[in-house]
Amino acid sequence: MSSAFNINALQSMLQPEGDSSDSEDDGPKYTPADIGTGAKPKHKIPDITPTTVKKAPTGKDIWDEEFVPEGVVTDHEETRPRPDYDICYKQNVRTEDMFLGMSGKNPGTNDELVLTINLPGAKSADIDLNVEDERVDCWTQHYALRLHLPKPVISNQGAAQWVTDKEQLRLTLPLKKEFDFMP
């Protein structure tokens, strides 16, 4: 009988007489029976729809010009055709890599990105080239290429070579390593 008395004493300590958890002031109470019956909470959820929402652009555009960051030129302004190009990866392999496996390189480890752009009818003097860490821009009188690279490169350490007989521009760009301590 003393254990029942102790439990009642503990209950009265934790929940004083005037405090009832069944009051309506605690907010809406839901039961499993309320699911799907259309019961709505008694309090109103505030409307947080912004008043400055802009209308979607019309036509085939997916964004309006005011949303494009400053200094970005979009491709749709260019009327010259895009030249054919190939992107390959190159791995610098030495003798100790092949026979001893000392550098830790594996087939998935790439050192350089090689971009070959076919520019028929162009001369090396007519090419305007701009290389950035994540983008290459190449313009001639007849072609225009704005290419976002699949991996970041070290743009100021690259090399460009014009292959006259094939009318190709070959760019060799070292890839940025995610970790400097890895080969």
Contacts 24+ apart (CB under 8 A), 49-55: none
59 φψ region: left (φ > 0), alpha (ψ -120 to 50), beta (else):
left
Helix (H, G, I), strand (E, B) or coil at 43: coil
The larger pLDDT score, comparing residue 32 to residue 140, is at 140
- What pLDDT shows up at residue 59? 67
User: DSSP class of residue 49?
Assistant: -
Helix (H, G, I), strand (E, B) or coil at 118: strand
131-163 pLDDT, tens per residue? 999 999 999 999 999 999 998 999 899 999 999
User: pTM, whole model, 2 decimals?
Assistant: 0.55
54-82 pLDDT, tens per residue? 566 666 666 666 666 555 555 556 788 99
C-alpha–C-alpha distance, residues 127 and 141, integer Å: 8
Helix (H, G, I), strand (E, B) or coil at 55: coil
Binned at pLDDT 50, 70 and 90, residue 3 comes out as confident
